[in-house]
Each structure stands twice: as structure tokens, then as C-alpha cells.
Structure 1
Amino acid sequence: MTTASPRIQIASLDTPLYQRADGATLMCVYVMVILLTPARLILRGLPMSLTPADVLGLFTITLWFCAHFTTTLGIAKGPNAVRRGMFTYGFALLFVYGYATFAYLPSDELNSADHSLVLVVANLGLALGMVDGVRGRERLDFVLKAMVVAGVGMAFIGGVQWISGIDLTVYMELPILHANDVVVQAVEARSGIQRVPATTGHPIEFGVIMAMILPFAVHYGFHARDRGESPRRWWIAAVMIAMGLMFAVSRSGILAIATVGIVLFIGWSGRRRLQAMGVVGAFLVVVQVLFPGLLGTFYNLFTSIGSDDSVRYRVHDYPNATAEFLRRPWFGRGIGTWYAPKHQVFDNQYLLTLVEAGIVGITVLVGIVLIAAYGASKARYLSVDPRDRNLALTLAATAIVPLVGAVTFDLLAFPQVTALMFFLIGACGAMLRIVEDERKRPRQQAPSAPRWDRPVARR
């Protein structure tokens, strides 16, 4: 009796039986909804097309706004570089919207602009919820692990589509949801090899999302033993997500993972680089054995760029985009006002942003990505924990993926990859806040010397 009671007491103090729901809990639900809800499904009974993730984003920014009027709800306060970037981005696009709607707009373009502004607010809610609502390293890990789990679910759905041709998303429609007018093909053919979108709206979006999530599965696999966990589940998750990237058969996905790989390769130690190259080599061998011809398809995608019709289509619209941009170079014609089938599709987010939001819009779009990468890089510089340094490096590497993806497709027109972009931007801000708070805490908690120990000035 006397020896057992202290153990029970220690376990009850150090291992809480439950975790109170907080901002990280909401962000976990959010990222699950983003990745696992089919892109074509929208909520019924609303005056505009909104997905469940859009509604959650609006709900989150409402909670964020109300929580800042209190001091008891645990939301973070104080300056943060990423949060300032989000404010600048929001106010700039609000000004662009006001500039466009001040003049005459056709009713269809005005409705599209209204819808785009609502989506901007929803995505800002997601980013601000991450920056200020996720408090502490453990809660940030909790949210990012939930993202990896959701990515595994998305990869599994894509794998079933690729291997068997069965589209599981047709069985995921809830009574409160219905399909929009966008047609999503479960299986497409490219260079004789089929490609799949999983729960997204297009294989390109699927491939880029897999490339953005994969580095986090690798991170938790490398550092699982440091946390007393088995790395096996994280490596299984990494393999499944990597296979999802392959099943997308997307140049954009390969460019995205190459971008992440270059940044990680520069920041990793020599030992980690050798381990990563060994893992990649073994993975490619397995892919070649299990799915003959798949790697050859990727090779042909890049060697045939000069004769690829999709590349020609992306390039031929440059003169039209330039002419439209020069009509309103500073503020553009209005966010959301250039849309298909009324207008030509550019398949290039930089061109689309220049036309819709002008120089101001392209500046704040590139700016929030660079600020997020700066925030993660600063967190890596300030931290002394190897796990935190690698997590910050992973966040910085994935944060810049949109800068590359925006060249190959109109990224902001795809809701899931756009939401994931803002999610990771917010994660960069949360990481920076966590590290900065830890550096401030020792100075704030250091007890001052007792009054009687202080030297007394002599007269």
C-alpha cells in the first residue's frame, strides 16, 4: 500500500486523463474537413456556394475576433510577423474589392467578387486561428499530426481510385451536402497512365497537396524515437502519401516535392541527407517493381515539355493576360471577376492575380508566403532543440511550395490546396510565437532579488 500510492499520485499529476478542447482541437477538425471532404460537395440552403471548410473558416475568424475581447480564453496576444502579414493581405484585398466594386461591374462578376471576398475571409480565419489559437509545441504537433493522418486518408482514397477504379467519394455525400456544377473525373488518362484526384478537384491539386504533407510524415518518422514513439506508423504514413503523389501523375506535384527536397537537403545534416537519399532510392525501386511504367511516365512528362499540348496552352495566353493587366495595372479588375467559361483560363496564378488584383494583389500574395517562410526560418534560428529546428525547416520548405505551384496552375482557384496553404502559413506563425514565448519566459519568471539583499547606497 505504501509503495503503490506514490506511483498513482505521480501518474495522476503528470498524465492528465483528458485534454480540454482548445484552438488546436478546432484546427484538427478543420484540417480533417479540408482534406477528406470531396471538393465538389457544398452545403445546402446557402445563398452562395460554400464548402464545410469555408463555413468553418468563417466560424473560426468569428471566434478569433470575439476571443480577443477577453483575457481568459487562452488566445495568444501580442505582435507576430505572420499575423501582421495576414492583416496586410486582408486589408489589401479588401481595398482591391472596394476599388473594383466602386465602378460598374456586371451582376455575374459582382456576385463572383462577393464570393471571392468571403473565401478570403474564411482563409484568413484559418491562418489566424493557427497563429493565435494553437498554443504550445505539443498542441502544434497534435494539429500537424492530424494533417498527416488526413493526408493518409486522402492518399488511400486516391490509391483505391488508381488501382481499382472505384471512386469512394460518391459514398461520402452527407444529407446536408450536395454536389456543385463542377464535374470531377475520378480517373483520367495521361500518357497511357491513369491519374486520379482523390477528394480534390483535379490530379494537379492532389499531387501538390501530397507534396506539402509528405515532409511532415518524414519529420515525425525521423524524430519519433526522440519522443518515445515507434517510428513505424509515421514511415507507413510517409509511404502511403508518397504513393498518392505518384498516383496523381502530376508535373506540379513533382516540382513541389523537388522544391521541398532542395530546401530540406540544404538544411539537413550530412547524415540525414544520406538517410533521405537511401529512403528515396528504395522507394523508387519499389514503385518500379510494383507499378511498371509509372516512373517512365513521369520521365516523359518532363522530357516532352516542348511538345506537350498542356504546356503550349499555358504559354499561348501570355499576350492576352499582359494586355488585360495593362488596362488596370495597380489594382486589377477585381478579385474573382476573371473566371471560366466567361473568360480565358490562364492556368497560372501569377497571371490571374495580376489581372484580378494588379501589382498590389501579386505583392501581398507573394509577401505572405515569404513572411511565413521568414517566420519559420527565424524560429529555427532561435530554437536550440533539434526537433524544433527540423520542424521549423519543414514548415519553411512547405510554405514556399505555392510560389512554385502558382506558375503551373491557378492555385487559388482550387479550394483545398488554398486552404492548406493558409493552414501552413498559420503554422509557421504559431511556431514562431511558441519559440519566441519560450525565450521570453525565463526572463519573465526569473525572481527578483529580495529587497534586503540589494545593496544599499551610502550617503
Structure 2
Amino acid sequence: MTSTPSVERVHPPVRRPERRGRRVKKRVDPVTIMTFFLVVLFVMPARYIVGPLGGAGSPSSMVAVLLLVWYLMSTLSPRWTPIRGRQPVRVVIVVFALAVLASYVAANTRPLSGDELNAADLGLVLVAGWAGIALVTADGITSMDRLETLRQRIVMGASFPALVAMIQFFTGIEVTQYLALPGLVEKGSAVLFEREGFFRPSGTATHPIELGVVLAAVLPLALHGAIFCRIPEQRRKRWAMVVLIAAALPMSVSRSAILGLFVVMVVLLPTWPSEWRLRAILIFGASSIVMRLMIPGLIGTVLNLISVIGADENSTTRTGDYDAVIAAVSQRPLFGQGFATYLPSMYRVIDNQYLMSSLETGLFGLGALLLFLASGWVLARRARRASTDPETRHLAQCFAASAAVAIFGFGTFDAFSFPMITNVMFLILGCCGALWRLQTQPSHSVVR
């Protein structure tokens, strides 16, 4: 009996998949996240909040706090950390936060009413959000292209309240009541202010003064984008945004806004070529004539507000605050009575952020405020000196102009009581820090 040989089963060689490089996860783009924040800040009316959270329930404030959480979580990983090289903005934010914390401790050494205690707690939340805005912007922007993208989106965002303000000015209709998301609670009045027979629009801000100063701070950034636009199809759109912002600015009927406009001109015009200066002066004069013809009385009213500074009741009331402020500061000179605790309902209205900071955070807090405001100007100017590119140098000067608007404007109203202008100025500080880093430390600006 012959045995049948066993047939060896031959298996085809197994093809192993080729090894490919590990898929690298992309970094989360801070500019994209900041774009979402800008939409919330400029499009959603600032007076609508999440009711149970009180003042801390402003949507823009909530997003800003999440920015800080994201920033701090990112620093825990060497791979994802946004910290690259030196960044003076971090020092500024730490000093500012320490001043607020010191005032919070000082506030708890004295008897506090329930309203004051709630306001002090709210102040800590607000400062956390402001820190998040500045730090994510200063450390997160990785290239000049991304900074330019953020600049464009800031201008586009500010164009929305400018457009809303023009509708309010001409119609007297408070259109922002139709922009609130369901579930939000209105904090404040929906009635438009009036002055000298004109409606004073607020856009999506909380007050006409706040709107006017925001538009003055953003105007130089809009001018930069229009002047250096290289794409013909976009040039008209960018100049349209310049016209929209510049036209809505005097409609706030606010002397702070007009003086902010003059600050922008004083900072920018000396750095422009003589040809640009001549055009700017001609356009400014022609625009004033057109606005005088289209809206009789508006230009005269605005100029009259400026001409009577120091002699009108509003000015004398503000200067009359000095004695009361000096007396209060002398009682708690170093750390003040507590950030955000000087409530108008309990004390008095102080239309000057420098005086308000002296009261609430003392001389230490006033120094931190001055450091915050001056650092934007200094960083932008240093970035301008470090660059040889004309476009970058102009962008730096425009950011310096925005910072100068805040330095001046904070002396005309209690800016920290208004969410939009405060968020915008911490955003400007972050942009100045990013521009400084990109120009002075290019080796630290490459994504790892």
C-alpha cells in the first residue's frame, strides 16, 4: 500500500502594509479661536448675559476665561505649549493680576456689603478673561501672516457694531434687541441715548462712549489694511470698512471718540510720506463737508463738545471728583479698597479709569494699569524699529496708535466698567506683544 505524500500547502507571502510616517496632529490655530471670540465680542450685544451668572455671564467674558484655561492647559505639554522665547506681555499680565489679587485681599480686611463682595468676585473672573485674551494672542500667533489675518478679522468684527450704530442713528430703532440668543437676560436699558437732538448709538456695545473709543482704536488697523491691500478686488471692501468705521465714530456724539480720532492722526500722520499726509488732510476736510451737508448740525455739535471742555457741567463734575478721590485713596493708598468694588450705586460715578484704579487697587494697581497701557505702545514702537519692511513698520505704528487711543481714552471714562473696550485693548496688547516677538525673535516664532 503506497502512502500518498502529503501535499505541502503553500501560502502566498503576506503583504505587510508599508510603514508610513506617523500622522502628526496639527496644532490648534489660536487665530481661529480668537476669530470665534471676536464674533461673540462684536456681534452679540454686550448687555445680554447668562442670568444666573450675573455680570460674569457675558458671553464674551465666558469665552475669554476659556481662553485662559486653554492657554494654561497648553503650557503643561512641551509639544503644545505656546511659550516660545521672551514675551514681556506675560510680565505685564502677571503684574496686573497681582495688583488685582492684592486689592482683593485688602478688600476682605474691611467690612464688605453683599454687592461689593459679589463685585469683587466678578472682578477676578473678568481679569482672568482679560489675561486669557492677551496671552493667547501674544504667544499663540506664529507668523506675520497669521497676525495679518487676525488684524483683518478685528477690523471686520468692529465694522459690525459700526453698521448697527448707523442704523440706530438714522432710525432710532434699537436693533440689538433682535440679536440676542434665546436664554440670555438683558442687563441695562434698550433705550437709545440722545444728545442735542441726535440719537447716540451704542451699536452692540453698552454705551456710545465705549463704541466711539473702540472705533477710534480699530480705525488705524482698518487704514493699514486698505493702504497695503494688493488685491484689487478686496481694496474696495477694505476702504468701505474704513469709511464705515470713520463715519460711525462721530455718530456716537462723544468727545472721547473725536479726541481719540485726533490721537490717531497725531500718531500716524508724522510717519506718513508727505503725499499721503496731503491726501489724508484733503479727504478729512472733504468728508467733514459731506457729513455736514448730509447730517446738518452733527459736526457742529461734536466740535462744540470739544471746545467747551473744562467749562461745561460735565467737565466740572469730573474735576470735582478729585478731592473725593484723594480723600478715599489716602485711607487705603497701597492696594485700594478692592477691584470692582467702587459701585456707583453706593459711592459716586467716576468717569476716569486712572482715578478709579487708584481707588480700587491703590497706587500699586495704578502703576499696573500704566504698565499695561504703556507696554502696548512700547512694544509696537520697538517692533517698528526692529523691522526694515515698510508694511511691517506701518503696521507697528498703527498698533501704537491704537494703544495711544487707550492711553488717552482711559482718562475720559471708567473703561474697565465696559466689556467691549477692555477686551479690545487687551487684544491690542497681545497683538503688540506678538508683533514684537515676530520682529525681534524670529527663531522662536517657528512652530515646533
Cα pair distance change 1:346/1:440, threshold 3 Å: closer
How much has 1:441 moved relative to structure 2?
A: 8.0
Aligned to 2:247: 243
2:330 to 318, 326, 330: 326
Partner AA of 1:241 in structure 2: I
Q: 1:311 aligns with which of 311, 315, 329?
A: 315
Report what 1:14 is aligned to: none
How far off is 1:209 after superposition? 0.8
Q: 2:385 aligns with which of 372, 381, 385?
A: 381
Contact 1:260 1:401 in 2 (8 A): yes
Q: Is the 1:221–1:235 Cα contact (8 Å) retained in structure 2?
A: yes
Contact 2:89 2:134 in 1 (8 A): no
Q: CA RMSD in A?
A: 1.9
Aligned to 1:110: 117
Q: 2:57 aligns with which of 26, 50, 59?
A: 50
Report whether the alignment pairs 1:202 with 2:236: no
The runs of at least 4 aligned residues of structure 1 exceeding 3 Å deviation read 227-230, 439-442
User: Which SS does the other structure have where 2:53 is aligned?
Assistant: coil
**Once the two structures are superposed, what CA deviation does each residue of 1:239-290 show, in whole Å capped at 9, x if it has no partner?**
0111110210100001111112111122222222222222212221221221
1:78-157 matches, cutoff 5 A: 78-157=85-164
Counterpart residue identity of residue 126, structure 1: I
CA apart distance, 1:303: 2.3
- Give the Cα separation in 1 of the matches to 2:391 and 2:344: 45
> Is the 2:65–2:128 Cα contact (8 Å) retained in structure 1?
yes
Partner of 2:191: 185
Q: Deviation string for 1:127-152 (max 9, x for gaps)?
A: 11110112211111111111111111
- Aligned to 1:178, the other structure's residue is in SS state strand
Segments of structure 2 that go 5 or more residues without pairing to the other structure are: 1-25
Preserved CA contact (<8 Å) 1:252 1:408: yes
How far apart are the structure 1 equivalents of 2:221 and 2:82? 25
Correspondence for 1:292 among 293, 296, 299: 296
Deviation at 1:79, TM superposition (A): 1.3
Alpha-carbon distance in structure 1 between the residues aligned to 2:118 and 2:37: 26
Correspondence 1:281 to 2:281: no
Establish whether residue 66 from structure 1 lines up as the match of residue 73 from structure 2: yes
Q: Distance in 1 between matches of 2:356 and 2:281?
A: 37
Per-residue deviation at 1:102? Answer: 3.9
2:416 corresponds to which of 397, 401, 412: 412
Once residues 407 and 68 of structure 1 are traced to their aligned partners in structure 2, the CA distance between those partners, rounded to angstroms, is 36
Aligned-pair CA distance for 1:71? 3.0
Q: Equivalent residue of 1:46, what SS?
A: helix
Please state whether the residue corresponding to 1:305 is helix, strand or coil: coil
> Post-superposition shift, 1:108?
2.1
Q: How far 1:93 sits from its partner (Å)?
A: 1.6
Question: What TM-score, normalized by structure 1, do the two folds share?
Answer: 0.88
Q: Secondary structure at the match of 1:87?
A: helix
Note the 1:428-443 alignment, pairs <5 A: 428-438=432-442
Identify if the C-alpha distance between structure 1 residues 306 and 131 changes in structure 2 by more than 3 Å, giving closer, same or farther.
Answer: closer
Partner SS state of residue 231, structure 1: helix
Higher-Rg member (1/2): 2
1:105 Cα offset (Å): 2.4
Mean Cα deviation higher: 339-348 or 35-44: 35-44
Partners of 1:351 and 1:440 lie apart in 2 by 39
2:263 is the counterpart of 1:256: no
Q: Could you say what secondary structure the match of 2:204 adopts?
A: coil
Instruction: Measure, in 1, the Cα distance between the counterparts of 2:325 and 2:190.
Output: 27
Equivalent residue in structure 2 for 1:422, among 426, 433, 448: 426
- Aligned equivalent of 1:451: none
Letter aligned with residue 189 of structure 1? E
Matches of 2:288 and 2:266, distance apart in 1: 18
The alignment partner of 1:189 has SS state of strand
Output the CA distance in 1 between the equivalents of 2:445 and 2:154.
Answer: 29
* Contact 2:437-2:445 at 8 Å conserved across structures: no
SS of 2:45's equivalent in the other structure is: coil
So what's the TM-score if we normalise by structure 2? 0.90
Tell me the SS of whatever aligns to 1:351.
Answer: helix
Matched, 1:269 2:273: yes
Give the Cα separation in 1 of the matches to 2:95 and 2:115. 28
